[in-house]
Amino acid sequence: MSDKEKLQVTMPATLKKELERMANETGISQNHLSVLALHSLTKNYKEKGSFIFADLLNPEHRN
């Protein structure tokens, strides 16, 4: 029995294209890049709390 679960994610087309580009350049799958990003996000949240979202939610950074 696997300890893995699936999560369907909907994202803007521009973000998906950037993820594809990163995967092609690094040789790391889109799935693995996504998992790495989620690990980083959850670790930062544990360490710093909701303050990590202040910069990310800044309207100047939205596409």
pLDDT score, position 13:
97
pLDDT, tens only, 5-15: 999 999 999 99
pLDDT score, position 34:
97
pLDDT score, position 61:
62
With contact defined as beta carbons under 8 Å apart, do 15 and 56 qualify?
no
pLDDT score, position 60:
73
pLDDT, tens only, 15-63: 999 999 999 999 999 999 999 999 999 999 999 898 888 877 876 765 5
Instruction: Give the CA distances from residue 53 to residues 6, 32, 46, 56, 58, in Å, rounded to whole numbers and listed in that order.
Output: 24, 22, 12, 5, 8
